[in-house]
Structures are given as structure tokens and as C-alpha cells.
């Protein structure tokens, strides 16, 4: 194949077991990127969005989880999408840019003209074909997907300033202490292969600085603890910040939804966003029913084909029910994620909650959260194999795996 032919490789950063700690207890059982949102693993949403990129030849997932954790998923999604998807395991975390650089030889095997790079823990409509078009028009080394957020929340993200006419990135500050801008980095990028030279440059600079440092052994010991390893390169602080204003990076603003998925509460919110997107993208995945032959369905609901839902249950909106779950007569489910093998017995109510694998909710019980997705106890989370006995109320709690609850609990973390 000639090098002038357009080819695109997509890379999704999935992190590893030491990342995503705010997602506990749900990430105790499953790597966070495989946690289901709208019935599909979190990473499935960016992967299926990549399928819409013209000239896409390969998708890589890069992380430092064990290979076996992704084996099954990667082989089934490759078959389903008819695009090769491969998991590449780092021996240790190299940072968001270092991870990409570490596998440059694999990525360049296909001789891509552009590399799409995505954080797996963002939820958006992934307007990748439009982003790619904009990137080609700008002609820079990289283009960043940008979203407008409230001024109060902007400091949780990478804030940036762009030229209103050319869209060039002029200034970038990762989680700044003082307000810079309400435009933030969405964690979705397109780069030309020149990104590898930029990462190599940062790494070389670090090596040079380390060699040139002429300090006493005490100072050397002190600075060694502060200095990052030469092969650990962060995309935001080490690449985007220094390259801003140098006519190499550009921005493309999306007006669609965008959220970050750092906590279980946000996974419930993002599950709702993906379910509502299914109306336009995959309507066949949404359940329907009016209570005659199957349960009454309200709003956007996903039910795995192997789940058994009694016709006298009422489900929705924003409910996703995973494999082999059993939902009894008279059950009411609102805004919740019911994971594999859960049983919800007759007349129980679950609202603003995530119910962990193999858990059981007793008859006439209530498992509920207040519905503030950003608060620590804003939703109720039951870890794996939790039993809520009959007629018990659980409100705004996080319950670790294998607990049995037989009395009312409220605003508690049950260890
Ligand atoms: P936090 O708020 O600190 O979680 O940061 P962030 O959202 O800015 O995330 P960060 O830059 O740490 O990570 C962005 C994405 O890259 C996430 O999907 C991470 O899982 C992933 N990531 C971060 N560090 C590494 C790494 O060393 N290797 C790999 N493969 N992925 C990483």
C-alpha cells in the first residue's frame, strides 16, 4: 500500500487497576472499562463510534490490566464490528502520552496518516468523522475535541483557550486553581504521527536534564523523588500545555453531550445518556412493552435477552438490566443498573441505584438513592452478592460485596 493512501488507526486508553479508584466498589470485580453502561461495556461506546471513521484499519486498546481480562471482549467485538481490535498491555503505567509512544511500532505498522486517540472514561456522541475533517482542514499536528461546561465545574478538567477565528489552541492548563476558561478538553484527539516526535522530545529533555544535573547527593536524592521517569509522559501537562500557541494544535467544539465517568454516580448518568442516544443509533436495543404480554416500559430501557422480567413489573426510565437477571411481579425499577444474575423479588422498588452482580433484593424492599449523581452518597450502590432481605429500606448507601442487610440503613458506607 502506498504511504499517500489515507489510513486511520484508533487508540483507546483504558488505564489499569491502579487507575479508576473512585469507581470502587464496582471496579473490584471488573476492569472499569468493561463496566456496562446502557447494557454495553464502557469501552464499547467509543469502539463502536470508531467504526464510523472513514479508512479505519485498526483499533488498539492500550492499558496495564492483565491481557486475559480483555481477551474475550476483544475477540467478540472484533468479530462483531469486522474491524481488528487488539489489546496491548503496558508492563507499567507510562502516562497517557507515554502509553501511546510505548506502542508506536504497532501503531505505525499500518502506516496511518492520522491516529484517533480517546480516553475510555468519557461519555459523548464521539463526533469522530467531523473531528477528522476539521483536523485535516486545520493541517496541524493535533486536534482536540472541546466542550463548554459551567464555569464552576471547569477546574475539574483541562481548561483551554482557542483562537476564535482559526481555532488554534492558544493556552492549556490542566485542572487549574484559578479560572482560565469554560472550554475544556474532552479527552478525544486526532494526531498525525508527528505526535511521536513530540513525545520523544519530552522524554529526551528529561533525560538531558537528569544527566546535566550537577547537585549534591542529598539534593539528587530529593529531586529524584519529585522527577517523573523519563518514559512517563502525560498528554495534558507535558504535550498540550507546552505546544499551545505554537500553531501545532487546534480545537473542535462539540455541542452534543459530554461527561467524564470517574464515579459510579456518573456511570448511572452516562448510562442514561447512551440509552437516549440509542433512540437514534441502535433503536433495536431499547425495550418496549405495555404490561400485557411483557412488562410496562417507560422511557429508555435496555434488557438483556437472557433476563427474565415479569409482565407485571414496571421498568424505566433509564434502566439497564444485564444477563440472567430476574425481575419479579410488581417490581418498580427507575434510573438504575441491574447487573448480571441479580434477583429483584416481588414488589421491590429500586431507584437511583446500581445493584451488583448476583445480589438479591427481597420482597417489598426499597433500594434507593437521592439521585444526585455527583454526590458521594447520591446514589445507592450494592457490591457483588449483597442480600437485602424482605421489607428492608436501603437509602443513599454504598454496600461492599457479600453483605446481608436485614434492617433499615441510610447514608452509610457498609464495609
Ligand atoms: P484523573 O482526574 O486524575 O482521573 O485524570 P484524567 O481524567 O485527566 O485522566 P488521565 O489523564 O489520568 O487519564 C486519561 C485516560 O488515560 C484514562 O482513560 C486513563 O485510564 C488513561 N490512562 C492514564 N494513564 C495511563 C497510562 O499510564 N497508561 C494507559 N494505557 N492509560 C492511561
- All structural domains of the chain, each given as residue ranges with its CATH number in brackets, are 8-262 (3.90.550.10), 286-414 (2.160.10.10)
Please tell me the distance between residue 94's alpha carbon and the centre of ligand 1 in angstroms. 10
Tell me the β-bridge partners of 88.
Answer: 62
Give the pLDDT confidence score for residue 151 in this predicted structure: 95
Are 300 and 315 within 8 A, CB to CB?
no
Residues 6+ apart with CB under 8 A from 229: none
Give the pLDDT confidence score for residue 374 in this predicted structure: 87
Closest CA to 397 of 385, 413, 415, 376: 413
Q: What is the pTM of this model?
A: 0.93
Please tell me the distance between residue 15's alpha carbon and the centre of ligand 1 in angstroms. 6
DSSP string, 234-270: -IIIIIIHHHTTTTSEEEEE--S-EEE--SHHHHHHH
CA atoms in the 13 A half-sphere facing the CB of 156? 12
Please tell me the distance between residue 119's alpha carbon and the centre of ligand 1 in angstroms. 7
Rounded distance between C-alpha atoms, residue 190 and residue 133, angstroms: 10
Give the pLDDT confidence score for residue 111 in this predicted structure: 96
Closest CA to 46 of 270, 357, 266: 270
Atom 19, ligand 1: which residue's CA is nearest? Answer: 15
Give the pLDDT confidence score for residue 221 in this predicted structure: 55
What sign has the CA pseudo-torsion 108, 109, 115, 120? negative
Helices first, then strands: H and E counts in the chain: 9, 31
Angle between helices 195-212 and 95-102 (to 10 degrees): 110
Is the CB of 237 within 6 Å of ligand 1? no
The C-alpha cell at 135 is 483536523
Rounded distance between C-alpha atoms, residue 344 and residue 342, angstroms: 7
Give the pLDDT confidence score for residue 25 in this predicted structure: 86
Is the CB of 63 within 6 Å of ligand 1? yes
Please tell me the distance between residue 66's alpha carbon and the centre of ligand 1 in angstroms. 17
Show the low-confidence residues of the chain (pLDDT under 50): 1-3, 225
Are 216 and 110 within 8 A, CB to CB?
no
- Strand duo 398-399 + 413-414: pairing: parallel
Q: Of all atoms in ligand 1, which is nearest to the CA of residue 90?
A: 30
Tell me the β-bridge partners of 251.
Answer: 144
Please tell me the distance between residue 16's alpha carbon and the centre of ligand 1 in angstroms. 9
Is the CB of 112 within 6 Å of ligand 1? no
Amino acid at each position: 500500500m502506498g504511504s499517500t493512501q489515507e489510513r486511520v488507526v484508533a487508540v483507546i486508553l483504558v488505564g489499569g487497576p491502579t487507575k479508576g479508584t473512585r469507581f470502587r466498589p464496582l471496579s473490584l470485580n471488573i476492569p472499569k472499562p468493561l463496566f456496562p453502561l446502557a447494557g454495553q461495556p464502557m469501552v464499547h461506546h467509543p469502539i463502536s463510534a470508531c467504526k464510523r471513521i472513514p479508512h479505519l484499519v485498526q483499533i488498539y486498546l492500550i492499558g496495564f490490566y492483565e491481557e486475559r481480562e480483555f481477551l474475550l471482549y476483544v475477540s467478540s467485538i472484533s468479530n462483531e464490528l469486522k474491524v481488528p481490535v487488539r489489546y496491548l498491555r503496558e508492563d507499567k503505567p507510562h502516562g497517557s502520552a507515554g502509553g501511546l509512544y510505548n506502542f508506536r511500532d504497532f501503531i505505525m505498522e499500518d502506516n496511518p496518516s492520522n491516529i484517533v486517540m480517546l480516553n475510555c472514561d468519557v461519555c459523548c456522541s464521539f463526533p469522530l468523522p467531523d473531528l477528522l475533517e476539521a483536523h485535516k482542514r486545520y493541517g496541524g499536528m493535533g486536534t482536540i475535541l472541546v466542550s463548554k461546561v459551567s464555569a464552576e465545574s471547569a477546574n475539574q478538567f483541562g481548561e483551554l483557550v482557542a483562537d476564535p477565528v482559526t481555532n488554534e489552541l492558544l493556552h492549556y492548563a490542566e485542572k487549574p486553581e484559578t479560572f482560565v476558561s469554560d472550554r475544556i478538553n474532552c479527552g478525544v484527539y486526532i494526531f498525525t504521527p508527528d505526535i511521536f516526535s513530540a513525545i520523544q522530545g519530552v522524554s529526551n529533555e528529561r533525560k538531558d536534564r537528569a544527566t546535566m544535573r550537577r547537585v549534591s547527593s542529598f539534593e539528587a536524592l530529593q529531586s529524584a523523588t519529585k522527577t517523573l521517569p523519563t518514559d512517563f509522559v502525560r498528554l495534558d501537562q507535558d504535550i498540550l500545555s507546552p505546544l499551545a500557541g505554537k500553531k501545532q494544535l487546534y480545537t473542535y467544539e462539540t455541542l452534543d453531550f459530554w461527561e467524564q465517568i470517574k464515579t459510579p454516580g456518573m456511570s448511572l448518568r452516562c448510562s442514561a445518556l447512551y440509552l437516549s442516544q440509542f433512540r437514534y443509533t441502535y433503536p433495536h436495543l431499547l425495550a418496549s412493552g405495555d404490561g400485557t404480554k411483557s412488562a410496562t416500559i417507560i422511557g429508555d430501557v435496555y434488557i438483556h435477552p437472557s433476563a427474565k422480567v415479569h409482565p407485571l413489573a414496571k421498568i424505566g426510565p433509564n434502566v439497564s438490566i444485564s444477563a440472567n437477571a430476574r425481575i419479579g411481579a410488581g417490581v418498580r425499577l427507575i434510573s438504575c443498573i441491574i447487573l448480571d444474575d441479580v434477583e429483584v423479588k416481588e414488589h421491590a422498588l429500586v431507584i437511583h441505584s446500581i445493584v451488583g452482580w448476583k445480589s438479591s433484593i427481597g420482597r417489598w424492599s426499597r433500594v434507593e438513592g437521592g439521585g444526585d449523581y455527583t454526590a458521594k452518597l447520591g446514589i445507592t450502590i450494592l457490591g457483588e452478592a449483597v442480600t437485602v432481605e424482605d421489607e428492608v429500606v436501603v437509602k443513599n448507601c454504598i454496600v461492599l460485596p457479600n453483605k446481608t442487610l436485614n434492617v433499615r440503613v441510610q447514608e452509610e458506607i457498609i464495609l
